Structure 1
């Protein structure tokens, strides 16, 4: 399970909206000094807040600190679908057009059409599974935050 810590910002029946801070692991990378991503991280460009809807059966309040999780296999399959399928569509359509002996501009156009239709397929699949509870992030646990004593 891939875990991320965040703060509850809104409540829904059976779910919560969690605000997370996107962070990079560039500080532990040996190529940090020569990497553009490391420079962007040092400048603070990569530090953005993300909002995630996570399923929860626990009674939570706005402001609670929680740990949410996503199954690793789900993340890998989703990444393959989102990144690899459009690329394969582009290559397959371009190779098919080239195999038919079409001119180069038509091969390029066929590749772009393959990319576009693969992207539509990804969007269609995402809309079909968007409400599937097995594919949603879940709240794993609530973290205790120390409150300073009044006095």
Structure 2
């Protein structure tokens, strides 16, 4: 059992190599290490999952219904803007979901300004680079605690 599920979507395995002006120089492995350190500080366990395949992401979200997940932190990448399949999968969960983005999506191209996932998330954090994930984990931890999960 893991307390919190961290979901990284499409192309996020390219952090550190993809558009450093927007996403910085840290790799996904480095971001995950930061999250693991924060989880240890908070006394929780993480399950970290990344995929470039939408169906695999949906399946992992479905699994969270029965695996003891207390909260979810998700950066869906480009799926954020058009994946109704992910939105529907997240809507089935009965735990807090926090959406995160490394870049400030509101200061970028117009298509990035809208998230189809936001309607099923407790909140969104954007624009703080890798710190967005840490803020998201802290928010998920607070929400899960407040919900008695």
TM-score per shorter chain, which class? under 0.3
Q: Return the structure number with greater strand share.
A: 1
TM-score by length of 2: 0.22
Q: Highest CA radius of gyration, 1 or 2? A: 1
TM-score by length of 1: 0.22
